[in-house]
Amino acid sequence: MTSGNNIESQYLELNSKSGWALLYQEIRAESAKFSNTHLEAVKPQNKALNRYRDVSPFDHSRIVLQRGSSDYINANLIKVEKANRQYILTQGPLPNTVAHFWLMVWEQKTKAVLMLNKLVEKKQEKCCQYWPQKIGPEHIMKLDDVGLTLEYLEHQDHSYYLTRILRLTDVNTGNSRDILQFHYTTWPDFGVPNSPTAFLEFLRKVRAAGVLETSVGPAVVHCSAGIGRSGTFCLVDSCLILIEKFGLNSVDVKEILLEMRRYRMGLIQTPEQLKFSYQAIIEGAKQLSQPSTVDKENCNSEVVVGNNVAESCDHSSDEDEPPPLPPPREDSLRRTNYVDRPLPTIPISASLSDFNYDDSDSIDEVQSPPSGPLPVLPGEDEDQSTADELEDESVQTSSPVSDKSDSANSHRDSVSPEDELRRRKRAERKEQLAAKVRDMKRRQMANEQWTQLKRSLFKPLAIAGAFAIGGGILAYIYFKS
């Protein structure tokens, strides 16, 4: 690639000419010229160990197992010398190759397995589940033919990918290693991730775990065949390292892909995956030049980019402090300075006869009503007198009646008809006054009972509406039940 013709300008040119299919065919044609052999893969005893007949490991770069019944596994060691990267690309394990898969992980001192496919895609099995079904020591997977056991320790869900921690133990020596599995669950077969941003976040998490460094064994990367999605991941990772080391103009994506294809056939299976690789590399290069794009969850800690450790972020300024939380809702419900408003009056349709009262009040009891004016029911216009006025009138008339009664006992014979008439009138007035006082008493008791009723009910407005509609029926049922 000539100077000034960087990846981004090449991408724009290919996009404008719809040249992705042509570029992909050029890569396939040049790869076909390689003289690499794959004789081990086609041996009769190894044919059943291959998931696909047309995807075989090259003999010169295949992983050779050191123990077990067979030394063959469909896997290759990929080297990108300039980027100082190594990957083991392999197929999704078959039921009869699960033990070989974990033996390879153990012998190669691999720290992580990167799984880029689902177990079942388009109603077809793309990979056998090669880890225990459940977490816990009671679900340990025993691989007797290779002398290993596998325990499922931990699981975390990160929306579009999962992480698992698996403990691999050598039965003979008792030594154990914890293997980290990154499982990308939203990358379709023969397709690409939803966005370069999500893929780059996944790549950044893998890098931050330190599992791609030269200090540990090469990471095992697999999809179904171990060439399409797996090749895309390795191409993007390697190119971003080279861009960081040598600059954007020094990286030729096509040449790097051809170099990787010398170690394993068919890496990157479609023009769409090739186009996505360019997109992810361009976006990743922009993120390398903008360290502020690192999310806050990694601030105050080391951020691994390529083989270098970036400085930690510092977000201690006041602008980044979170706003204060709103006061708890319950505080507004504990006010003590509320206004005790009077309750509404009894509806006009309510009947006094529907309320309970004691009708055994004597004349003497009625003549001492409570002080202060008593409430009057709306609509009762026949008498607006207060208890004090009635009591005064009663007191004024009680003395003559009493005197006349005493006089009648001593001088019964001398009473004139006029005096007798006046006495009867006074008695009638006294009885009328007592009746009025008893009526006032009943009204007061009715008002008190109505007030208690409204305060005891949970929804006074609803009850008031019921009274307005149904009249005194509801009150009658309430107090008579």
Binding site residue list for substrate: 189, 223-229, 269
Quick one: angle between helices 271-288 and 253-261, nearest 10? 120
Tokens of 429: 């007035």
- The rounded distance, in Å, linking the Cα atoms of 307 and 298 is 17
- The rounded distance, in Å, linking the Cα atoms of 232 and 202 is 13
Verify whether residue 299 is a known catalytic residue: no
SS3 for 408?
helix
Is residue 87 within a helix (H) or strand (E), and if so which, with residue range? strand 85-90
Q: Do residues 463 and 477 touch, judged by C-beta distance below 8 A?
A: no
The label of the residue with tokens 């994506």 reads: 253
Q: Find the angle CA(296)-CA(297)-CA(303) to the nearest 5 degrees.
A: 90
DSSP letters, 9-47, are HHHHHHHHTT-HHHHHHHHHHHHTT-----TGGGSHHHH
- The rounded distance, in Å, linking the Cα atoms of 2 and 6 is 8
- The rounded distance, in Å, linking the Cα atoms of 450 and 343 is 10
Instruction: Determine the length of the chain.
Output: 481
Catalytic residue among 127, 128, 223, 239: 223
Residue ranges for the known binding site are: 189, 223-229, 269
Is residue 120 within a helix (H) or strand (E), and if so which, with residue range? strand 120-121
- The rounded distance, in Å, linking the Cα atoms of 232 and 420 is 126
Catalytic residues: 223
